[in-house]
Structures are given as C-alpha cells and as structure tokens.
Amino acid sequence: MVFIKVHLIIFYFLGLVPFSYKKNTNVVDKKKLGPDTITLVPTEIHTCYSLVLIIIIVIGNSIQIPLFLKESYSGDGNELTETLGLAISVSGNVVMVIMLLLYIVQRQKIIKLGNQLLDLDVAMKKLHNIYKLESEKMKLILICYINTIPCVIIILFTLFIEASFIRATCMYTFHTTIFNYFVIQYAIVLTLIEKKLKCCNDAFLRMKKSIELQFRVYNTQKNTLEKTSIVEIFALKRCHTILCKICSDIADFYSFGFLFIIPYSIVCVILNIYDLLTPFLKIYPTDDVVVRRIGNIAWITARLFPILTTAICATKVSKQIKRTSSVIQEILFECFMSPEVKNELKIFSLELLHKNFQFTAYNVIPVDCTVLRTVFGAIATYLIIFIQFQSDDM
C-alpha cells in the first residue's frame, strides 16, 4: 500500500494523475459488510495544479532559453551539439505542455477507463470458481523502482554537477522526467490489463472441467451445469470484449506522447552516447570524466528503459488477446459438450476472428517489441554518421 501511495504522489506531482479515489463500503446484508470497492473521481485540484505547472514551465523557459543563447556560442563548445540540445529542449517542453493539457481535457475519459477496470474486477470476482485474479505486485514494484533509480541520479546530477540547476531543470530534466513517467505509466496500465486477460484465458481453460463433467452426471445436475457454463461464457466474453475496448482507448490516449517520445529519445540517446564516447575519441576532452559517464548512463537508462518495458508489456497483451482464440478452439476440439454451450463458443470464436488489434501510435509507430529494432537501429546508424561528421568538422 505504501508503494502505491508513494508512486501516486510522484504521478500527482508530475501532473499525470487527473483524479482522486474514494472507497465504497458494500453492504451485503444488515449484519455483514462486503469488501470495499474503489471509485475514481475527478478533482479540480489537478486541473489547477497542472495549469500552474504549465505557467511555471513557460515562464521558466522564456527566461532561461535567452540566457542560454547568449552564453552558448562562445566558441569553446560544439555548436552543432548545442543547437541540437536547444531544439530538443524547446520541442520537449512544447510537447510536455500539450501532454499536460491532454490530461486536463481528457480526464473524464481517463477516469471512465480506470473505473471500467475496477468494476470489471468486482464483477469477475463473482466467478470465483474459475476466475482467479493473480497479483502482479512484485512485477510492478520492480518496474517502478528500476525506473526511479536513473531519475534520482539525473536529479542529483542536475543539482550538484550542472552549472545552473534552474536552467538544467527547466530545459531538460523536468520534461525528461515527465516523459519517463508518462511511458512507464503506459507500461503499468498494460501490465494490469495483461494480468486480467491472462486470468480470463485461464478461466476458459478451467471451464473445460465443468463442461466435461456434464456428460458424467444425471440430467438434473447436467442442466444446472449447462446453465452455469453458459453464464460463465457470457461473463468471460463480456470481460474479454471490455478489455479489448479499453486497450484500444488506452492506445489512442497515449499515441500523441509516444509518437514524439520515440524520435526524441533516439536523438537524446545519440547525444548522450556521443558525450559518453568523447573522452575515448579525444575530440572534446572534458573534466570529471567518471561523473559525466555515470550521468550519461543514467540519462540513457531513463530514456530507453520505459520504452523497452512498454514494448514488452504491449507484446504480452497482444499475445494474450490472440491466445484467447487458441483457447476457445482447444475447448471446442477436446471437449464433448451440449449444443447450446458449443454454439456460444463457436459464436465467440467467430467474433475473435474479426478482432485484429495492434498497439500503435496513430498507426505510425508500432508499440510492441518491433519498435525496439527501429530504435536501436536508428541509434546505431545515426550515431556513426554523427561521429564521422564531428570528426570531419574538426
């Protein structure tokens, strides 16, 4: 619980959680209380905080960027690198402001999706005989802590190493941190959905026992089991359909940020690797080489780890969506069943054939493991070109 609260505070601070939550006590009867449920509710505090945050970002950059321009072209540094850094800073802050505004404008959509996931858990718990919701707590803790470590190093690096903490924060550190947690938030949501889809598929497999049992019992029990199986099929079909719809809505919401963050991260990582290799290339010797190496490794990790995690999580979700069709076919081919149950499974199988969902950013960038090939290929190619260009320029 402490882990959830700490990371909720981080997301609140970055303007990435446009809601609060309240606990609802379910009364089963006059003497017995059911388990508490959680409902997400909109909060005006987030809107006010995000608007204040946007104003501070705009004012801070409008002050710091002109000062940077006055000091940057003194002849001691690399003009191309500084120009790229400035372009990255300006574009990154513009996209960050748009992303924060999207969280304000689309907060009702976000709250609706969150409540759908919570309500789905409550509804599916009624199928406790076949639907066993597995915990992904350790996986989420691992993702969040691995993601937090490079971010903390970056903040410390900015605080103690950079010449101007305020300038570095306004121009680079803050929007990089928001991009990092934006993508990792995507990965967390996908992890939760993948867990629910896996439980749904496992529930279908557990149904095999009750379906097979129908032919080994008397007629009265057979009718009861048959009705139970049909109810379970309807409930699992509804669960699967809702989860697929949520996946589509989530992919749409995160598309804008992801579409920019991928090329942004590629350019930034190229510059970080170049700076990391500079002492070996002896093009621009620098002091504090070890400290700068640690800083650059932290920057690279903070930019690539969320993309890597999200790509893996999206691939797992896609596999679970496709796995459902195989599970239904397995039940149809291996089990003897009543015509009514068989008909319902066949209808669901046909519905699955028409579902061809893929995680993408506006159908431009695939959000799965294939994007890693694009990212690492682009980094390797353009890094070589950049180093050759810099060497020739010297």
pLDDT per residue, tens digit, the chain (394 aa), is 576 778 888 999 999 998 888 877 665 544 444 556 788 888 888 889 999 999 999 999 888 888 888 776 555 556 777 788 888 999 999 999 999 999 999 999 999 999 999 888 888 877 766 667 666 778 888 898 999 999 999 998 888 877 778 888 888 899 999 999 999 999 999 999 999 999 888 888 888 776 666 555 555 555 666 777 788 888 889 999 999 999 999 999 999 999 999 999 999 999 899 888 876 665 555 556 778 888 899 999 999 999 999 999 999 999 999 999 999 988 888 777 778 888 888 888 888 887 888 899 998 999 999 999 999 999 999 888 888 876 655 5
Shortest CA distance to 257 belongs to which of 390, 42, 92, 79? Answer: 92
Question: Rounded distance, CA 276 to CA 25, Å?
Answer: 55
Question: What integer pLDDT is reported at residue 242 of this predicted model?
Answer: 93
Question: Rounded distance, CA 18 to CA 106, Å?
Answer: 9
Question: What integer pLDDT is reported at residue 282 of this predicted model?
Answer: 56
Beta-strand ranges (E) seen in the chain are: 19-24, 37-42, 360-361, 365-366
Read off φ and ψ for residue 162, nearest 5 degrees: -65, 145
Question: What integer pLDDT is reported at residue 35 of this predicted model?
Answer: 59
Q: 59-89: b or e for each residue (b if 16 or more CB lie within 10 Å)?
A: ebbeebbeebeeeeeeeeebeebbebbeebb
For 386, the token pair is 């950049």
Question: What integer pLDDT is reported at residue 162 of this predicted model?
Answer: 74
Angle at 239 between CA 234 and CA 244, to 5 degrees: 125
For 208, the enclosing helix (H) or strand (E) is: helix 174-213
Question: Rounded distance, CA 73 to CA 69, Å?
Answer: 7
Shortest CA distance to 304 belongs to which of 256, 370, 375, 378? Answer: 375
Question: Rounded distance, CA 355 to CA 244, Å?
Answer: 9
Domain regions of the chain by residue span: 109-393
**Which residues, in sequence order, are CB contacts of 73 under 8 Å at separation 6+?**
79, 82
Length of the chain: 394
Question: What integer pLDDT is reported at residue 137 of this predicted model?
Answer: 79
Question: What integer pLDDT is reported at residue 122 of this predicted model?
Answer: 82
Question: What integer pLDDT is reported at residue 77 of this predicted model?
Answer: 54
pTM (two decimals): 0.90
Cβ neighbours of 203 (radius 10 Å): 22
Question: Rounded distance, CA 326 to CA 165, Å?
Answer: 55
End-to-end CA distance of the chain: 56
Q: What is the dihedral of CA 47, 48, 49, 51, to 10 degrees?
A: 80
Question: What integer pLDDT is reported at residue 281 of this predicted model?
Answer: 61
Question: What integer pLDDT is reported at residue 30 of this predicted model?
Answer: 47
